[in-house]
Amino acid sequence: MTLSIDGLMPSCIVSVPMLSALLITFVPFRAQRRVARLSVGMSALTFILSAALLFSYVANPRPQWLSSGWAWGSLYLDPLSSVMAIAVAGISLVVHVYAVRYMAEEPGYARFYTLLDLMTGTILLMVSAGDLITLLVAWHLIGVLLYFLLGHDLERPAAQRYAFWTFFTYRIGDLPLILAAVLLYKAYGTFSLPELFERIAATPDAYLVFGMPLTIAVGLLVALSAFARSAQFPLHTWLPYTMEGPTPVSALMHAGIVNAGGFVINRFAPVLMHAGAVLHLVFAVGLVTAVMGSILMLTQNDIKKSLGYSTMGQMGFMFVECGVGAFSLAIYHLIAHGLFKGTLFLGAGSVISDARKQDGVPHDDVYTFVVERKPVASRLPWMLAALVTVVVPFLVLGLSRWLVGGNFVGQQGAIILLFFGWATGAQLLFSTYRLRAENPWRTMAMIVLSLAIVVAGYTLIERAFDLFMYPDRAIRERIYAAASIPPAIFDPLVAILTLAIVAGWFATYYTVATGKPRSADTSPARLALYSLVSREFYAADVYALLAQTVLALSKRMNVWSRWL
């Protein structure tokens, strides 16, 4: 490990947005053009420096550590920080440009750009922090700045309420990470992350906390902190209700800020590779969150809230990837999600405008044939379509893994991710089957070809990304080994899930193809399920009840205290 650095590029990347926020305070308040030009220009410079830093690291792949001369304030350049820096700077640049016109009619224009620049600089400081104190300071400041950004409109009570809700949840997420830092410093006597990870690798089981290894205790605390920041169940309720803030803030939050949980888990990978039980917990929580977020996304009638639950589901899937040991894949997913989710939020207004002009509700066959004079669409035979849906995604995913090579069959994480890919590909083909088409054979062939291209490209990129993020093969194998489940449990579970998925898809196809009436729509079970989903699994109601209980208890204590 080299503890020196040639040049000050990492510190410049963090300093440029901070300098922009400082300069904006000296620009005349009414000069919006000057504020926008200054902030966007500085953001573009930050992105250029981040790209140059990444290219420099690729040319000379050697981790470097920049010390400030104190116990904190150091920066760390490694694959994780270099990749995250360019992703954060790129998304921030897009948000800066979008906000130039979007926020033009809003009060506090200069204040908004000041907070936006401070947020960008703080996130860059977090991803490049080289010691525990710097990481904690940036981790805390992100929550504070997000509170002010979400509550930017001071005249909207709902925005202030949910901004405080987010702030409170973030403070809950701060406490476990602070305790983890205290335990690590007390055990190993250093704040420096590279030195700390070297000492943990040398003696991972040398210290105990309440009878358990220190690595498991710290890993659990890090995971709890990540759960709060990345909206994992049951700490997810703040995320879907933050849509009262400005759209650029929603884009930046869902594209970057909420991804902090995935980053911190990767940063503490040298600790979690010795805490297999914690990885199993991360997998379970991520799986529940992914399923709940996906279900709730499909039941919303508000586009921004639907995108919020979509982010929750994607964050859950990212934690599933971490839980099966695919740490580098989680970072790749994090970046890809940030790009497309930021685009969706920034384009939400256009979608709403288009929906007002064309509702997109399909017409029946008679209207299509008589009025629009188009041939009636048709479908493939349901049995053939079902076989294609079940078999094709499995073959595409399996062949893509085989082409890449490696001992993927022995890695349980790859098998679990193949299940998710299989279900997703089947869902895509089933959606195409339900839409009908004039030429269903051609449509199905194009979908299958597109799926093959996307999956093969995704697999190749993921493999290359894995080699870049974790070039040491021993570390990769150690992470996968820590995340593995005993074969006696894993193999029967895979067989049961396979049969359940195949049976479920065939039953779904048969129901759609035969057009049987849904006589059970009003059954108690279906109504109970509808109530559960429409009330968002009662999570917000439980928190509201707890808040009322605490307030009632505090009132009683105030009354009792008068008699003391």
Give the per-residue pLDDT at 501. Answer: 73
Give the per-residue pLDDT at 372. Answer: 47
Q: What 3-state class would DSSP assign to 539?
A: helix
Residue 44, phi then psi, degrees to nearest 5? -65, -40
Nearest to 452 by CA among 400, 408, 386, 487: 400
In 100-241, beta strands by DSSP E: 208-209, 212-213
10 Å CB burial of residue 16 (0-12, 13-18, 19+) is buried
Write the CA distances from 439 to 376, 426, 485, integer angstroms.
Answer: 10, 20, 46
The predicted model scores a pTM of: 0.80
Q: What is d(CA 200, CA 207) in angstroms, rounded to the nearest whole number?
A: 10
Nearest to 214 by CA among 200, 226, 224: 200
Give the per-residue pLDDT at 192. Answer: 85
Q: What is d(CA 57, CA 300) in angstroms, rounded to the nearest whole number?
A: 44
Q: What is d(CA 138, CA 471) in angstroms, rounded to the nearest whole number?
A: 28
- Cβ contact 68:111 at 8 Å: no
- Cβ contact 170:229 at 8 Å: yes
Residue count of the chain, please give it: 564
* 143-161 exposure pattern, b = at least 16 Cβ within 10 A, e = fewer: bebbbbbbbbbeeeeebbe
Q: What is d(CA 418, CA 426) in angstroms, rounded to the nearest whole number?
A: 12
Structure tokens that stand for 27 in this block? 């620009």
- Cβ contact 459:421 at 8 Å: no
213 CB-near residues (< 8 Å, 6+ apart): 204, 205, 207, 274, 275
Q: What is d(CA 126, CA 264) in angstroms, rounded to the nearest whole number?
A: 9
pLDDT along the chain (564 residues), means of 10: 53 87 74 79 90 85 76 82 89 87 78 88 89 90 88 76 82 89 88 87 79 87 90 82 77 78 88 87 88 81 78 85 82 82 74 60 47 50 65 63 50 64 66 60 67 66 77 80 76 73 72 60 71 77 82 84 69
151 CB-near residues (< 8 Å, 6+ apart): 159, 160, 163, 164, 245
Residue 343: CB atoms within 10 A of its CB come to 14
Q: What is d(CA 466, CA 460) in angstroms, rounded to the nearest whole number?
A: 10
- When computed from its CA atoms, the radius of gyration of the chain, rounded to whole angstroms, is 25
* 521-546 exposure pattern, b = at least 16 Cβ within 10 A, e = fewer: eeeeeeeeeeeeeeebbebbeebeee
Nearest 5 degrees, angle CA 544-CA 316-CA 407?
160
* 483-500 exposure pattern, b = at least 16 Cβ within 10 A, e = fewer: bbbeeeeeeeebeeeeee
**What is the DSSP annotation of 60-78?**
S---EEE--SSSS--EEES
Cα end-to-end span (Å), the chain: 62
Q: What is the dihedral of CA 250, 251, 254, 259, to 10 degrees?
A: -130
263 CB-near residues (< 8 Å, 6+ apart): 80, 84, 126, 127, 331, 334
Nearest 5 degrees, angle CA 285-CA 196-CA 231?
20
Q: Could you state, in order of their start, the residue ranges of all structural domains in the chain? A: 1-130, 160-349, 378-514
Give the per-residue pLDDT at 369. Answer: 41
Q: Cis before residue 524, ω within 30 degrees of 0? A: no
Give the per-residue pLDDT at 2. Answer: 41
Write the CA distances from 6 to 3, 14, 263, 296, 354, integer angstroms.
Answer: 11, 16, 25, 49, 52
> Which residues on adjacent β-strands are paired with residue 213?
208
Structure tokens that stand for 146 in this block? 């997000």
